[in-house]
Amino acid sequence: MSMSPFCDVTTWEEFSYGHFRDPDPTTPDEGRTGCCARGRTEKEQEIWSFSSKPLGKALLRTVAADRQLCQDAVTMFTDILLYSARKSLKDVSEDTRLVEHIFRQVIKRESLQDELYCQLVKQLTNNKKRSNEDRCWELLWLCAGCFPCSQPLRFHVTSFLLHKRRSPLARDCLLRLERTVQLGNRRSPPHPLELHTVQKKSGSWGQIVILPDKSTVAIAVESSSRGGDLCLDVTNKLGLKTIGGISLYCRVADKVSSNWREHAEYDLLFRRKVWTDVMVGEDSVADMRMHFFQELESFLSGHHKCSKSEAVQLAAYLYRVRFGQAGFELHDDKKTAEVLKDLIPRDLLQIEPPEHWKQDIVATFNRHAGLNRDDAKLAFLRHVSTWPTFGSAFFHIERHDYRKYPEKLMAAVNRRGLMFMDQNSKNTIVSLAFDEVETSGDTRHLWVTGNGLENTWQLTTSAVGGAYDSPTATNPPSLHSLHNILPILYHMIHIWGDFELSFSFFSLYRHLRSTT
């Protein structure tokens, strides 16, 4: 018998004789009539070929031997029949439900993954119904992007795809299967965006990524895209000198929907996560479009220790960034209070009347007459980069057991290590290098011990200052690091206090410790 990779029926039929169960005598539509099964009548339907009737048992012998797996496989084939029989694309919710039902159990139970491949190839073999065949190709496309089949089956699936290379999705299925073999199994069912993409016969879709300066970059996303792939795309489009320390985040709006997988709103944010190697002035694009705006968030949130004179100096730079050479806004008393909110840290606003702040800022602004907007951004960054908390992720201390310290504390994590600070005065209470700290806990709670810490400290993983606009907001959005973009989009959890931040203390601490 030929084993040519272009002889799909022969190799597929041969595989079925070695691995499929025997035809069920109680099921009249099951039989074997191929070139490897002599003596059968031509009217009998091959077990390895298309069928419009439900299965009585699983195809694979190993799956059919397990009662529960067999039942799950039969249900899975019924869902395939229902999906492939649907002709209208208007009711996307039903398609989404069927795809979810098929893939959720298969992803959880690897023993069903080969069975799903077998069922789909079966339905694509000798399928004379064009619309039905197209729908089965969609499922195989999704399947190839979620998990690979086992090595023995992969040869036959690859042979089948090569033989069907003229089919619109065959080549994509083959490429997706090869990619999945390299990357490993997905942990989540296909996202509705994937389903929409394959139904429109498109291999990718456009995604808007938001930069710290609020501008956007459009990139192409595929179902196998990883966070690193997308970061590299954005980095290249912006012309950044390095991708190191930069991450993508998924910000999910605080909106609850009964069908959240279709309707949940999210943004992709492109931000610097680790500031270990940042030197202000080395990468002008990164400074102007990322570093300045991220540090501006921390500055205005009031998480740095900043004197009044420093606040005035930096506010003058920010005023020039916002208004350029024109200084008329602060001369309008009605606008002064609103403008100051974007210039002065919130914890310092109340120490002086607005009129005093205005006078000091205007005087300093006038002394910098030769600066343009970019010069002012760079001057701002150079100043704040001298602070020990530059490039920090800040965390609230939820509880600690040492009465000697103030009740309200913050932790700052940066390239220097870990700092515990008084939330009000911003004075540093304890400063520790990474090799002096031991941590344990989960993504929500963290227990930290180390030299200078006489008791265990419990931290929240809700970062403040740069994580969202208002750390005191009732319903702040969730942020997720994107290691594999679609599973994260799939798991769009927006329960305050129960989400994982890429720059959570635990992950950021480990990352920085490994690089120092």
Show pLDDT as tens, one digit a residue, over the chain (516 residues): 333 333 445 678 888 888 999 876 665 556 554 444 444 434 335 889 999 999 999 999 999 999 999 999 999 999 999 999 987 666 778 899 999 999 999 998 999 999 999 999 999 999 999 999 999 999 999 999 999 999 999 999 999 999 998 888 999 999 999 989 988 888 888 888 788 888 887 766 778 899 999 999 998 887 667 778 888 999 999 999 988 888 887 776 543 333 334 445 678 889 998 888 899 999 999 999 999 999 999 999 999 999 999 999 999 999 999 888 765 555 666 678 888 999 999 999 989 998 899 889 989 998 888 889 999 999 999 999 999 999 988 877 765 556 677 777 888 888 888 888 888 889 988 887 777 766 555 544 455 555 555 455 555 444 444 433 222 222 333 333 333 333 333 332 222 222 232 234 444 445 555 555
Q: Residue 229: helix, strand or coil by DSSP?
A: helix
CA distances from 42 to 22, 37, 249, 367 (A): 18, 11, 58, 95
Residue with tokens 């390239």: 415
Report the relative pairing of strands 205-210 and 266-272 from DSSP bridges: parallel
Handedness of CA 333, 335, 340, 346 (dihedral sign): positive
Give which of 25, 103, 16 is closest to 60, Cα–Cα: 16
Q: What angle do CA 136, 157, 84 make, to 5 degrees?
A: 5
Please tell me the distance from the alpha carbon of residue 366 to that of residue 183, in angstroms, as a whole number.
57
Q: Which two tokens stand for residue 189?
A: 């069912």
Q: Residue 500: helix, strand or coil by DSSP?
A: coil
Enumerate the β-bridge partners of residue 464. 394
Q: Which two tokens stand for residue 359?
A: 């006078």
Cβ 489 vs Cβ 266: under 8 Å: yes
pLDDT value at position 488?
A: 32
pLDDT value at position 331?
A: 63
Q: 501: left (phi > 0), else alpha (psi -120 to 50), else beta? A: beta
44, burial (CB in 10 Å: exposed 0-12, middle 13-18, buried 19+): middle
Please tell me the distance from the alpha carbon of residue 491 to that of residue 260, in angstroms, as a whole number.
10
Please tell me the distance from the alpha carbon of residue 339 to that of residue 349, in angstroms, as a whole number.
11
pLDDT value at position 88?
A: 66
Q: Residue 47: helix, strand or coil by DSSP?
A: coil
Please tell me the distance from the alpha carbon of residue 86 to that of residue 98, in angstroms, as a whole number.
11
Report the relative pairing of strands 437-441 and 445-450 from DSSP bridges: antiparallel
Please tell me the distance from the alpha carbon of residue 111 to that of residue 101, in angstroms, as a whole number.
16
Please tell me the distance from the alpha carbon of residue 321 to that of residue 59, in angstroms, as a whole number.
67
Q: Which two tokens stand for residue 466?
A: 């740069």
